[in-house]
Amino acid sequence: MKTNTASLLALATAVSALPSPVQKRACDAPVKLSGSENAFASYTLHPNSFYRAEVEAAVEAISDASLKEAAAKVADVGSFLWLDTIANIERLPTELATEIPCDNILGLVIYDLPGRDCAAKASNGELAVGEVDRYKTEYIDVIAGILKENPNQAFALIIEPDSLPNLVTNIDEQACQDSAEGYREGVAYALEQLNLDNVVMYMDAGHGGWLGWDANLDPGAEELASVYKAAGSPSQFRGISTNIAGWNSFDLTPGEFSDATDAPYNSAQNEQQYVKLFGAALKTAGMPNHAIVDTGRNGVTGLREEWGHWCNVDGAGFGVRPTSDTGDELVDAFVWGKPGGESDGTSDTSADRYDSFCGMPDAYTPSPEAGQWNQAYFEMLLKNAKPAF
């Protein structure tokens, strides 16, 4: 065919009128995962390009040569990609357009429930209480569609950090009462719609200092299990995520807060104990009980004045890198859930989402809005990393 400018233009117009280009397939055959297997035993958590770009920008801003060299290595650590707003779903097709090795699993955090973060302010979300239909159609359905379009890519999902745990322990707060119905309906819907062959799912279970209290174990397990059952006991469901964006040690014994006066009421003094005890309660309640545990920022302990302090803990360090070598049959993997360097909440007391926990003496200040990059905090995590980079 003879080409000239006019025919090239016509061709370009025709191409741009076609449906969006077929996305690059990670593997050359469909992926088949199952809730009865540990996907992390055969897949590596993918170092996503979103966090890589944040880290690479951070590296540019560091002048000290040895710190710069150490910082660059963080870009290669696998971590979860947060889809924390409808607009940020866009991060997913962007990621899927990059090279993802066939043996990598892409970790995603589903995090946009109506009335999000009901017992705190720092991560209050875009959807109001009552907007569960928008959550379904504008958020979950869109994500489900993208996952279906990419059957050759493996995905691991963390479903809605903190949501159901808040209904167990913070239901005396009006905002959590108002949110409860939407949380249960929304999480069940997510579990149903995202139950795809190329996906494994973990429902968030807080951490040992939350549902690990003796009195919370059974009610917590019943809350999570009832939502799992309402979703039809999905086949791709594997268990729980713990310590997401948290600070607890995996196996420090007897545990960071074991000297506290209330310690006798909590036998889950580290995350390993928590997975064991809560796992047993889940089993009784009829829910799969394997776990992934966030070790992204738990390299240093002994920093918090109280167990419940959750915001930008000062002096923290990166922890163990993602691995399925956990030494515990119930624990599928250590993962980096919270991308270290992104803030937990603003320390600006005049901001709408200012939460007093982010102004505590053991919280790092100044800190930007939740999810925003904090260069100084990243450098601190790096300097205090254990193991070192």
> Which residues have a catalytic role annotated?
117, 162, 344
Say whether residue 355 binds ligand BGC (CB under 6 A).
no
Say whether residue 243 binds ligand BGC (CB under 6 A).
no
Shortest Å, Cβ 41 to ligand BGC:
26
Say whether residue 121 binds ligand BGC (CB under 6 A).
no
Say whether residue 338 binds ligand BGC (CB under 6 A).
yes
Q: Is 148 annotated as a binding residue?
A: no
The span from the CA of 291 to the CA of 289, in Å, is: 6
Shortest Å, Cβ 233 to ligand BGC:
29
Handedness of CA 263, 296, 359, 301 (dihedral sign): positive
> Which of 285, 370, 380, 385 contacts ligand BGC by CB under 6 A?
370
Cβ closer to ligand BGC: 279 or 339? 339
The span from the CA of 213 to the CA of 211, in Å, is: 6
Choose among 196, 84, 204, 197: nearest CA to 135: 84
Choose among 174, 201, 177: nearest CA to 188: 201
Q: What are residue 292's DSSP bridge partners? A: 241, 333
Cβ closer to ligand BGC: 131 or 342? 342
Got the DSSP string for 262-274?
Answer: TGGGB---SHHHH
Cβ closer to ligand BGC: 35 or 322? 322
Q: Is 160 annotated as a binding residue?
A: no
Binding mask 81-120 for ligand BGC (x = CB under 6 A): -x-x------------------------------------
- Using the contact rule CB under 6 A, the part of the chain among 63-71, 276-284, 335-343, 374-382 near ligand BGC is 335-343
Q: Locate 81 and state its tokens.
A: 């990609």
Q: Is 307 annotated as a binding residue?
A: no
Determine contact, residues 117/176, Cβ cutoff 8 Å: no
Burial of 65 (0-12, 13-18, 19+ CB in 10 A): exposed
Say whether residue 342 binds ligand BGC (CB under 6 A).
yes
Choose among 196, 223, 202: nearest CA to 292: 202
Q: What residues have CB less than 8 Å from 351, skipping those under 6 apart?
A: 369
Cβ closer to ligand BGC: 266 or 369? 369
Say whether residue 294 binds ligand BGC (CB under 6 A).
no
Shortest Å, Cβ 301 to ligand BGC:
21
Say whether residue 131 binds ligand BGC (CB under 6 A).
no
Identity of the residue numbered 295: T
End-to-end CA distance of the chain: 57
Say whether residue 271 binds ligand BGC (CB under 6 A).
no
Say whether residue 191 binds ligand BGC (CB under 6 A).
no
Shortest Å, Cβ 342 to ligand BGC:
3
Q: How many helices (H) and strands (E) does the chain have?
A: 11, 8
Cβ closer to ligand BGC: 84 or 223? 84
Shortest Å, Cβ 124 to ligand BGC:
8
Q: Is 210 annotated as a binding residue?
A: yes
Say whether residue 344 binds ligand BGC (CB under 6 A).
yes
Say whether residue 309 binds ligand BGC (CB under 6 A).
no
Q: Locate 315 and state its tokens.
A: 């002096």
Q: Locate 232 and state its tokens.
A: 């039809």
Got the DSSP string for 144-199?
Answer: HHHHHT-TTSEEEEEE-TTHHHHHHH-TTSHHHHHHHHHHHHHHHHHHHHT--TTE
Three-state SS for 326? coil
- Using the contact rule CB under 6 A, the part of the chain among 59-67, 193-201, 334-342, 381-389 near ligand BGC is 334-342
Chain residues binding ligand BGC by CB under 6 A are 82, 84, 123, 338-339, 342, 344, 370-371
Residue numbers belonging to the annotated binding site: 82, 84, 207, 210, 310, 338, 342
Residue numbers belonging to the annotated binding site for substrate: 82, 84, 207, 210, 310, 338, 342
